[in-house]
Amino acid sequence: MKRIVVQKYTYELRLVKEAIKFGPLNPETVDEVFFTIDPNLAIEVVPEEPETALIISCQNFPGAEYNGVDYKGTDFAADVKRRNPRAVFIAWSELARRAEAVDGGLSKLDGGTVEVVARVLTAEEGDYTPERRRELFPEIDWA
């Protein structure tokens, strides 16, 4: 499973990396996660089916455009799902907006800490099934 984190601030990417490295679960996972501030770059590394992916993304990408239009997190989610319908997409932002292509929302203002993100990123692949993820990650508002 490919794991991808896209955030507009590099310091948030650094905090997530540190939370994985120094966390209790699978610190070696940090080397397997693709971290970027560029959604256009991230979409290129989303694998096609049958492989799956976990994407944790913010909602706003200042200055990012896609086909000449401002690129929003919900647009990015839709592009991810077009590329790989099996991908699990989690919006991690202050206002974790819900859209059809977003599987779960994690609010930074309501318990969505870097430790939660690290725990999600270091989980086993089987933990992302709809049944397991609700049980293991109650902080996330799942669709």
pLDDT for 126 equals 84
Q: Give the torsion sign (CA, 73, 78, 83, 85).
A: positive
pLDDT for 69 equals 67
Residue 7 has pLDDT above 70, yes or no: yes
| Amino acid identity at 125 | E
pLDDT digits (tens, 9 = 90+) for 69-116: 677 888 899 999 999 999 999 999 887 667 889 999 999 888 788 999
Whole-angstrom distance, CA of residue 24 vs CA of residue 43: 29
Angle between helix 114-121 and helix 10-21 axes, rounded to 10 deg: 60
Do the Cβ atoms of 45 and 55 come closer than 8 Å?
Answer: no
Among 139, 131, 126, 117, which residue's Cα sits nearest to residue 4? 117
pLDDT digits (tens, 9 = 90+) for 19-59: 998 877 777 788 899 999 999 899 999 999 889 999 999 88
Q: Residue 52: CA atoms inside 13 Å, Cβ hemisphere, count?
A: 12
Between the CA of residue 62 and those of 32, 40, 41, 69, 79, what are the distances in Å? 26, 13, 15, 12, 18
pLDDT for 104 equals 93
Domains and CATH numbers, the chain: 2-142 (3.40.50.2300)
Whole-angstrom distance, CA of residue 68 vs CA of residue 141: 31
pLDDT for 65 equals 66
Q: What is the dihedral of CA 30, 20, 105, 79, to 10 degrees?
A: -10
* pLDDT category of residue 68 using cuts at 50, 70 and 90: low
pTM of structure: 0.91
